[in-house]
Chain A
């Protein structure tokens, strides 16, 4: 056992690793209190319309079925802020897959049989689920997701484009993408003595508690939501999902505990998706590569019940220096499921287009694409003019180029062949903003010198428990083994959602603050009383301050691909990412985050395709056999490196977020490599054989 405090950054192993690999860690659907009932969602089979009748007699006749909740008998709830949670409240069907009933039964099998026996009649209306650039319903919203202004203009982009010696004008098309965490969404709810207790698979149980309290008219002390172990979320569990409302409703109505899990095939319609985008990027530059103008316009879809605008044009506001800039988001409401957050919302989509366009410009100019990016490094953030707290893009590009062997590259396209394989390499930049949300933590010391730190953080597989223990131990000046961490319950001091790559910064700031306050208290002298000493702290003030700095993580991806000239199959031979994300607090878990993001980016580039069937208004690929996330055989030589930054304008740990930047730019690096290999510039993902073949 170590007796000296370990410095931050050590590759400490996950605290709950043993429980997870031995199967003793319990997830939301693995709690089985006595009398547990199982709820099965009945999804709408029309894309638009109204329910005219629900016949439940056959379902109720299935042995074991306890009750069927519909809009006719479900408890009324207060209108939730998020319309996707207003389930079983009226007859409206806003999209196919919308829950129209919940069958509650003594076994999952009975609930399932009951759900198949529910007969629903609809008055269906015409539907429209097809996104087009010039859709007549397209409008410019006020804001995009994240609170960013939908439109930003600097200088005169149109005039600058007309005058620029070299221009690129390219339109990129991305279909929808699905989060598909390993653990489907699930909730188990129980009412006892007027108190609602819920196990929920969520990225933030404080938010779930607040949402349930608001919807059901309960106070904070009347609801407890626990998310002890969560098998991934990728944004889809960042907001409460219908299953938790349904479980709570059903538990209230039946007086028994009720569990509702979302079947894999229902997830695309119920837990959000990355909205498809059509993106037009126009760049104008001098012949030496100096950008004069960056214009990025995106068109995307949202649902009929909620405005969610993928903020894909936002990264263009901070990436490259240019005197003229225009970034515009437009959106059209369609009869589709509500899009939502998926790993790096905005950045993942937008940087695919921007970084592909930068490659197109490099090709047009005959300038190396790394060099082109270095030539357009801004002195301050282009959009706001604020200084960067630190900006590691140039360092990442240079370090990555060196490690990858970039400069030996022959820039000519379609010039390297190995048997029937065409080889090529590509590069792209990455970025992700530094975010901080308010959180609270308590630090307790017992007379025996052992510490307990409490904060409602959520460990969605990232290693949050472990890194928070590292932060606490460092602040307390004690070995980590002396620190117990309690997370994953809304009864703990409130914590922000595990999203926006902000968890470690947000919870860690609160933990650091509480721990240092405890150290100060102990330094005042005196003995620790039998009940110990507890200090609490929150970061409302820190989180509300607007930084005078532009704060972002940066990175660079390098990819080598082999394209089979006979089949059009693209395989990534090796991929290398270098990231500048402040101080890395745990080398082991950080590497997992970076590599995981890169694998997801590889899927976005090559394998993950989602079809919106216009006839039925339905996502076609709804299981993991047809929605192709990368298999092990797709992921060969993957490396993540980082450049530690000493940035004092972030938080007490000096960290930036690392959970999302790995997926940003990855698809562009791969697409650019495919162009280098084949000479074909494809502007639509994923790069499957049907798209490549016409060019080979």
Chain B
């Protein structure tokens, strides 16, 4: 690890100002990923701007019945928040499906969104990687890629976004609020992460100097149920081979509203718009759910060793939608 300076700013404005002045700086949240990457030599910031103690640690209702989540709210606190558990169960479940208890106690909402891929080549500075060192190549295409992308990848990068939380936020139509040198803006959680294209070093649409200040959830759709399901190699402390966040409202046996997002399949949480189009207004049956999943996954381009992810994602989606339908049936 190279020597670095450390600063704890007193306000968002100061954090943003210093960040803009010092391009070699990084914001530090819980540090559960950034510190690892510094130890590995993948990241070598000259300055860490510790934003974890900024007054962004509250979860508060919005005027329209949604929820405002401060960027420094810890993952474990957010997962346990009564409103999140009751009204946004997919989010609580996604958080609890991630990492380990110790990591969730440290990790923040903003930091979770900005964690980087666990692609083994990205994490190994002795090997090429277009994301870490643009222009050096992507050995994962031919190398070890069982865990990597099947959707939206490019010749330059087949990495996956590892966050569970981000998948739930995408399905829940959350917005990510940013504060930067040019002011404030909000980005849909679905659009916050980007596809790799020919510049995979950019994970997100965040601009230099911008700080995530909060994530805002709209009020849950009326009568909707939501859940998060994740498949992994061991029962805890493993990244998703594939995961799904699903939100579903069923009325009179038909899908009134559906939102679906996949994790573990792409460079960003994969909002399944094509599947949603099939679902909307269709009978809430397994046949519909399978057709919807297939419509979305038709775009998949699996690599040599990760074709299983397509079947896995399909099964997860159909299972999740069927479970939500059963719940809707039970509640009446």
Contact (A616, B139) CB under 8 Å given A45-B126, A631-B236, A634-B236: yes
Residue contact A631 to B233, C-beta cutoff 8 Å: no
Q: In this assembly, does A112 line the interface, its C-beta being within 8 Å of a C-beta of chain B?
A: yes
Other-chain contact of B319, A566, A571, A614, A689 (Cβ < 8 Å): A566
Cβ of A43: which chain B residues have Cβ within 8 Å of it? 126
Across the interface, which residues of A come within 8 angstroms of B234, CB to CB? 606-607, 628, 630-631, 633-634
Name, among A566, A631, A633, the residue most crowded by chain B CB atoms within 10 Å (CB to CB).
Answer: A566
Provide the bound-state CA to CA distance between A113 and B233, in Å.
35
State whether A566 touches B308 (Cβ < 8 A).
no
**How many Å lie between the Cα of A41 and that of B50 in the bound state?**
32
A620 located at the interface, meaning its Cβ lies under 8 Å from any Cβ of chain B in the complex: yes
Q: Name the distance in Å between B103's Cβ and chain A's nearest Cβ.
A: 10
Let me know if A615 is at the binding interface, CB within 8 A: yes
Total interface residues on B, CB under 8 Å, equals 32
Interface SS, A side:
loop
Contacts of A614 in B (CB 8 A): 143
**Docked-complex contact B312 and A615, CB < 8 angstroms:** no
Q: Looking at the assembled complex, report how far the CB atom of B309 sits from the nearest CB atom of chain A, in whole angstroms.
A: 8
CA of A615 to CA of B139 in the docked complex: distance in angstroms?
A: 8
In the complex, A125 has a CB within 8 A of chain B: no
Structural contact, B315 and A569, CB atoms closer than 8 A: no
Q: Is B118 an interface residue (CB 8 A)?
A: yes
Asked whether B291 is an interface residue with its Cβ less than 8 Å from the other chain, the reply is: no
Size class of the contact patch on chain A = 35 or more
Q: Are B319 and A628 in contact (CB under 8 A)?
A: no
B257-316 with Cβ < 8 A to chain A: 305-306, 308, 311-312, 315-316
Are the C-beta atoms of A571 and B235 separated by less than 8 Å?
yes
Contact B120–A621 (Cβ < 8 Å): yes
Within 8 A of A (CB), among B203-257: 231-238, 241
A109-B1, A566-B319 known; A620-B120 Cβ under 8 A = yes
Distance in angstroms from B146 CB to nearest chain A CB is 6
- By beta carbon, the residue of chain B nearest A688 is B233
CA distance A631 to B3 in the complex (A): 34
| B residues near A569, Cβ cutoff 8 Å | 231-232
Is the CB of B144 closer than 8 A to any CB of chain A? yes
Choose from B120, B235, B311 the contact partner of A626 (Cβ within 8 Å). Answer: B120
List, in ascending order, chain B residues with CB within 8 A of A420's CB: 319
User: In the bound complex, how far is the Cα of B142 from the Cα of A276, in angstroms?
Assistant: 21
In chain B, what residue has the closest Cβ to A691? B308
In the complex, A73 has a CB within 8 A of chain B? no
A566 vs B293: C-alpha distance when bound (angstroms): 14
A611 within 8 A of B: yes
Contact between chains at B120 and A632 (CB < 8 Å)? no
User: What secondary structure prevails in chain B residues at the interface with A?
Assistant: loop
Whether, in the assembled complex, A369 has its beta carbon less than 8 Å from a beta carbon of chain B, the answer is no
Residue of B nearest to A569 (CB): B231
With A567-B315, A607-B234 known as contacts, the answer to whether A613 contacts B144 (CB < 8 A) is yes
For residue A568, CB closer than 8 A to chain B, the reply is yes
User: Quick check: is B2 within 8 A (CB to CB) of the other chain?
Assistant: yes
With both beta carbons as reference points, the residue of chain A lying nearest to B315 in the complex is identified as: A566
Q: Determine whether the beta carbon of B143 is less than 8 Å from that of A633.
A: no
Chain B residues near A566: list those with CB within 8 A. 315-316, 318-319
Tell me whether A113 and B2 are in contact (CB under 8 A).
yes
Question: Which residues of chain A are within 8 angstroms of B181 by Cβ–Cβ distance?
Answer: none
B53 within 8 A of A: no
For A621, list chain B residues within 8 Å (CB).
Answer: 120
* Cα separation A109 to B4 with both chains bound (whole Å): 12
> Does the CB pair A631–B237 fall under 8 Å?
yes
Chain A neighbourhood of B197, CB < 8 A: none
Q: Which of B3, B127, B311 contacts A616 (CB 8 A)?
A: B127
Q: Which residues of A have CB within 8 Å of B318? A: 566
Q: Is B41 part of the binding interface, using a Cβ–Cβ cutoff of 8 Å? A: yes
How close is B24's CB to chain A, nearest CB, in angstroms?
17
Say whether B142 contacts A633, CB under 8 Å. Answer: no
**Contacting residue for A568 out of B127, B231, B235, CB 8 A:** B231
| Interface residue ranges of A529-573 to B (CB < 8 Å) | 564, 566-569, 571
Give the CA-CA distance A614 to B311 in the complex, in Å. Answer: 27
Task: Give A129 to B319 CA distance when docked, in angstroms.
Answer: 41
A567 to B233, CA, bound (A): 10
B-chain residues with CB within 8 Å of residue A524 when the two chains form the complex:
none
Q: A689 near B1 (CB under 8 angstroms)?
A: no
Scoring A residues 598 to 615 as 1 if CB is less than 8 Å from chain B, else 0, what string do you get?
Answer: 000000001101010111
**Given A613-B143, A634-B235, A689-B233, 16 other A-B residues pairs in contact with their CB atoms under 8 A:** A113-B2, A566-B316, A566-B318, A567-B315, A568-B312, A571-B235, A630-B234, A631-B234, A631-B236, A631-B238, A686-B233, A689-B241, A689-B312, A690-B306, A690-B308, A693-B312
The 7 listed contacts between A and B (C-beta, < 8 Å) are: A566-B318, A566-B319, A616-B143, A631-B236, A688-B233, A689-B231, A693-B311
Q: Which positions in A face B, CB cutoff 8 Å?
A: 43, 45, 109, 112-113, 116, 420, 564, 566-569, 571, 606-607, 609, 611, 613-616, 620-621, 625-626, 628, 630-634, 686, 688-690, 693-694
